[in-house]
Each structure stands twice: as C-alpha cells, then as structure tokens.
Amino acid sequence: MTLVQALFYLMAFVALGSAVFVASTKNLVRSIFMFFITLMALAGLYVLALADFVAITQIVIYVGGILVLILFAFMLSGRENLNYISAIQNKFISIRKLPALLLAALFLIGLINVVVKMDTGNLEWVKISMEQKNDIQPTIEMTGNIGVNLMTHYLLPFEAVSILLMIALIGAAHLSRKEVAV
Amino acid sequence: MNFYLTYFFIAIGLFGFSALFALFGVYAERKLSAFIQDRLGPTETGTFGSLQTIADILKMLQKELIIPTAADKLLFMMAPAVIFIAVYLGFAVLPWGPGLAPAKLNLGLYYLFAVLSIETLGILMAGWGSNNKYSILGAMRSAAQIVSYEIPAGFAIISVVMISQTLNLQTIATQQGILSSEKVTFAGFWDVSNIGGIFSWNVFRAPHLLVAFVIYFIASLAESNRAPFDVPEAESELVAGFHTEYTGLRFALVFLAEYSMMFMVSMIGAVLFLGAWNTPLPNMGVVELAAWTTGAGWGIFWIALKTLSLVGIQMWIRWTLPRFRVDQLMNFCWKVLTPAAFACVLVSGLWRIFLM
C-alpha cells in the first residue's frame, strides 16, 4: 500500500466515523464540532484528488462561514430547545423512520450496483483522456484555469449565481430592518 | 527519509520560535506599555526585568488545571489546542527569505486565509465549553468581529493579488525586489527592476495599495482581538472574555495563540505590502546596496525587522487608543472599511489594465 492509499483510507475512515457520530449523537453542539472534523477530512480527500483549490474553498466556506453561522444560531437560541431534542425517544427501528430507512436502503443498493458494475480499472473515457494527455498532473497550477473558465465558458451560470446571492442579501436586509411606523 | 525529517525539524523549529516570540512579546509589551504610561514595568527579575516572563511561564506550568463542573469537558479541553493549531498551521507557508519557505504552496495566501478562519471555531468552542455567560458572550463577540473584519481584509488582500497575479507567497515576495524576473515599476512609470529597494515594494509599485495596507492592518488588529478591537475580552464588562475559565497551561496556550497570531498577521502584511524579505536599500550607481543586502540571511533579518516593527505598532496602538463600542466597531467595518476595500479592488483592476 502506498502512502497516498494509506492517507486515503485514513481520511475516509475519519470522515465516515465522524459523520456517523454527527448523525447519531444527541449533544447537538458536539455534533457540530464533530462536523468540523468531517469537513477537514473531506478537504484532505480533495487534496488527494489533486483538487487543492476546492479543498481550501471547502474550509473557507464551510468551516469559516457555515459552521460559524450554525453555531451562532445555536447560541442565540435557548437551552430549552436543545434539551427538547435530546429528550426525544430514540428507538433504532420505529414506524416514523420507515421512509428514511427505505430511502437509505435504496440508495445503498444503487451505490453497490454502480460499484460492482463499473470496472474502475479500465474505463473508456479515462483511457481516452490519458492518451490525449488531457489529465491533471500533481505539479500543475489550476487556479488560473478555474478563473479563466469562470469568466469565459461558465460566465452565464456564474452571473446567475451572483444575482441569486444578491437577491438573497437584499431579502435578508429587508427582513431584518426596523418596521417604519405608518 | 531525510526528506521527512527536515519537515519535522522545521515544524518543531517554528513551534519553538512562536513560543520564544510569545515570551519575548509579552516582555516587550509590558515594557512598552510601561513606557507609554510613564511607569517602569518589570525591573526585579533579571537585568531590566528580562527574566520576568520566563518566571511567569514557570509559575503557569505549575498551576492546577481547573475544569469547571458545569463545563462540557471535551470541548473545554480541546479548545485551546484548536485555537493554537489554527494559528500555527499558518506558519507553514510564510516565506522567510529567497528560497526559504517551509512549504511552497501555489495557493499559499488562500490557504492562510482558510486556516485563519478555523481560529473562530476554536474560540466558539472555548466559549461554549466553559458554560459561562461571560465566556459565551466574549466568544460570540469575537466570532462576529472576526467574521466581519475578514471581508475588508480579504478585499485588501485581493487588491494585492490582482497586482501580483499569483497566490504563491514566495512569488509575491520575489516580485518586490531586484530578484524579480518581470519588470518592476515605481508608481507605474519609473522602471526600478535593477534599482530595487524600497521603490519596488508593493505599496510603492501601486500607491493605492498604501490604502489597502492600512485597511488590512486595521482589520488584522480586529482579527487578532487586539485593542482597540478587544471587545471580546473587555475586562470591564466580561472579566476576560472567552478565556475566563482557563488556568495554567491551557491559559498559556491561549496566550501563545494570541501572540503567534499577532506575529503572523504582521508577517502577512509585511510580505504582501512591505516587500517581504527584500531590502529597503536601493542600488545607487556603483553603490549596489540592494544587491549587497539581498540573500537568505539578510532575508530573515529584513522580514524579522519589518514584522517586529509592525508588532511594535500593534502594541503602541493597544496602549494609546481606547476600546471601540460594539456598534461603532460594526459601523466602522461595514460603512468605512468595506467600501474603501472595494474601491481598492477597483483601482487595482484599472491599474492592471492601463499601467502594467
């Protein structure tokens, strides 16, 4: 086993283990902090896949932004709400969980099906791009590529997303401002 | 195998450096504050009180590690480590001299920005874990402040990146001196590629970066929770903010993180704006001061000098300015710094198109 493979399995194990903890624990604040570990392990997996820009973006946006926001929401809400969640009866099999279990089982079957049927060693499109030298080397710098593509090929979706974010910002500002007396 | 050993040595060396710097920084801060307030500061332990902080840390190491009964023990114990490691990770990419950088990451600057945001999480962890009203209020103030001030700091950094066209800190450093492979101009018109010195620093290559530097410096004060932005630990209101409940070694770790953070934000400022490890002395005809004072050893000297001067200014500001109120803090960030930073980005774009 090479070092890269060892690292992959380590990261994958950490990501899955912490994700299971996040989903199963009743202490919500701890589960948020555990989610941080899941995100870091995911960033590590991205680095192993040579997507370093995506890995760092993941940390900037999820850890620096979304996790902090979730924590804020927590700390601004009272302790009673948190206690309510940990007081819920939790049996592993109950009728309320049936839809979720069914969905999860179907998804698992689908995934296993894909893994078994797909011959990952010799995929057609991978071979073609290897022949055409259309693959990413570890030494290559991808940031410029991402920037150029965003501003040429994907300009329309990029602008559409920015308008969407703008609308959300204006909406948030409107909702949070003081009511003017008529 | 030697390859990996070097990594370990460098990592341990950087850790030792940040610990030493914290010791020296606390002593310097106490002497400086004493000078500003017309006192003497520590005088008894060692010559001029120079052993005072070593005595302090020895005392701190012996103290009992108290965990409050109501605290979330795991979060409480892990928080100081998370806070310190977040800062310490940043040291991995900072360039110290020509060819001297622990890691030559092509996304170095972006990585730094990401790593700094992890510190917020550590502070929130400490605040929540302590289970104390003052701690949690301090942690929330700190997080709100860091998240807000990341925006002007980020845009000031982007305006530099637009001029230098790279995120690699070592490349940004090289561009600002006589070792640069491309043409360097002073204020866009005077070719100083072979003159170097202070004229080729980023703040003089494009003078609007001077504004960006001031914005970055103010925002970096807020990000390291230093006065006048120290509402998170406002002694008169919150006891000591998020680290109220910490004792002994854990408290020392929080302090270590604060001083390492000061050093790191100053060093980022020096690298991005003030010519990194390049000499301030220009070549003048046959007197080739810039060529004589550029090299690995000189690089470490210059970057340390620039960084320590910025740290000194941080301390000077801390002991001369009163604390901001929370609403003033937010107004200042969103209504003054952020628009100014946007203007810098705009000017950078125009500069790049018309003058470079």
Q: How many CB atoms lie within 10 A of CB A152?
A: 8
Predicted confidence pLDDT, tens digits, chain B (356 residues): 677 788 888 888 888 888 888 888 888 888 888 888 888 888 888 788 788 888 888 888 888 887 888 778 888 888 888 888 888 888 888 888 887 777 778 888 888 888 888 888 888 888 888 888 888 888 888 888 888 888 899 899 999 988 888 888 888 888 887 777 777 777 777 777 777 778 888 888 888 888 999 999 999 888 888 778 877 776 777 777 777 788 878 888 888 888 888 899 999 999 888 888 888 887 777 777 777 777 778 888 888 899 999 999 988 888 888 888 888 888 888 889 999 999 999 998 888 888 77
C-beta atoms surrounding B300 within 10 Å:
14
A143: chain B residues, CB-CB within 8 Å? 106-107, 167
- pTM comes to 0.85
Among B118, B120, B167, the residue with its CB nearest the CB of A143 is B167
DSSP string across B85-117:
HHHHHHGGG---BTTB-S---TTHHHHHHHHHH
Domain map (residue ranges) of chain B: 63-355
Report CB contact under 8 Å: B140, A67.
Answer: no
The pLDDT value recorded for residue A71 is 83
Ranges of chain A whose pLDDT falls below 70: 78-93, 181-182
**Is B114–A63 a contact, with Cβ atoms under 8 angstroms apart?**
yes
The CA distance from A44 to A62, in Å, is 14
- pLDDT value of residue B190: 76
Question: Measured between CB atoms, does B271 come within 8 Å of chain A?
Answer: no
Q: Cβ atoms within 10 A of the Cβ of A53, count?
A: 19
Closest residue in B to A59 (Cα–Cα): B114
Q: Per the structure block, which two tokens stand in for B97?
A: 């001299």
**Which chain B residues touch A68 with a CB distance below 8 Å?**
117, 120-121, 124, 143, 147
The answer to whether B129 and B70 have CB atoms below 8 angstroms apart is: no
Contact B323, B236 (CB under 8 A): no
- Token duo for residue B156: 């000031």
The yes/no answer to whether this complex scores an ipTM above 0.90 is no
Which alpha helices (H) appear in A49-154, and where do they start and end? 52-58, 68-76, 79-87, 98-117, 124-131, 143-151
Determine how many CB atoms are found less than 10 A away from the CB of residue B30: 18
pLDDT of residue B340: 92
Tell me what pLDDT residue A14 has. Answer: 92
Is the minimum CB–CB distance between A21 and chain B shorter than 8 Å? no
Closest residue in A to B110 (Cα) is A56
Max CA separation in chain B (angstroms): 71
State whether residue A75 sits within 8 Å of chain B by CB: yes
Q: Which residues contact A51 (CB under 8 A, 6 or more apart)?
A: A142
Round to whole Å and give the CA distance between B315 and B33.
Answer: 8
What distance in Å separates the CA atoms of residue A152 and residue A155, rounded to the nearest whole number?
5
Give pLDDT, residue A82.
66
Chain B residues 40-79 within an 8 A CB cutoff of chain A? 72, 74-75
